Amino acid sequence: MSKLITNWYGGRTGLGQIEKDTIKVPIAIPKKLEGSGEGFNPKELLCMATGSCFFLTLVHLIETRKITIEKLMMESEIIKDQDSFKIKHAVTLVLSKQNSIDEVNLVNRTIDVAELTCGIGKLVKAGGATIMIEKNISISDENSSR
């Protein structure tokens, strides 16, 4: 079981941090709420939680399925909407050049499985939020640079 410690210094414009062992994540109240904005706010932390759960699940599935990749990257964003909370994770995955269209299809399905099995994502969706996955899958071109 993980133990997280949260500390706060100062008032509304102060700074905080969440600690686990030697790792410290800065947190702050957003500027639009008259905070310092010099750390992650709760919505960003939720986006990070869903993103890291999905991403680590995907890494595990890629390895267990023995898919060879050259690059795996993800960009996440919170989409502002008056009526709902939406998170978008855009995954870029470049397969090694020895892979074929069959592996592209396998990766496509693997991304779907990662999204469906991520426990944090399931909880967030159960709370009424939307999580969207954008897939950018390609096979390495030997003439392109990494």
**How large a percentage of the chain has pLDDT more than 70?**
96
Residues 61 and 114: beta-carbon distance below 8 Å: yes
Tell me: the pLDDT tens digits for 101-128? 888 999 999 999 999 999 999 999 999 9
In this prediction, residue 145 carries a pLDDT of 46
In this prediction, residue 97 carries a pLDDT of 87
- Spatial neighbors of 34 by CB under 8 A, at least 6 apart, are 12, 13
Tell me: the pLDDT tens digits for 8-17? 999 999 999 9
Place of tokens 């469906």: 116
Helices and strands of the chain, counted as H and E runs: 3, 6
pLDDT band at 80 (very low <50, low <70, confident <90, very high): confident
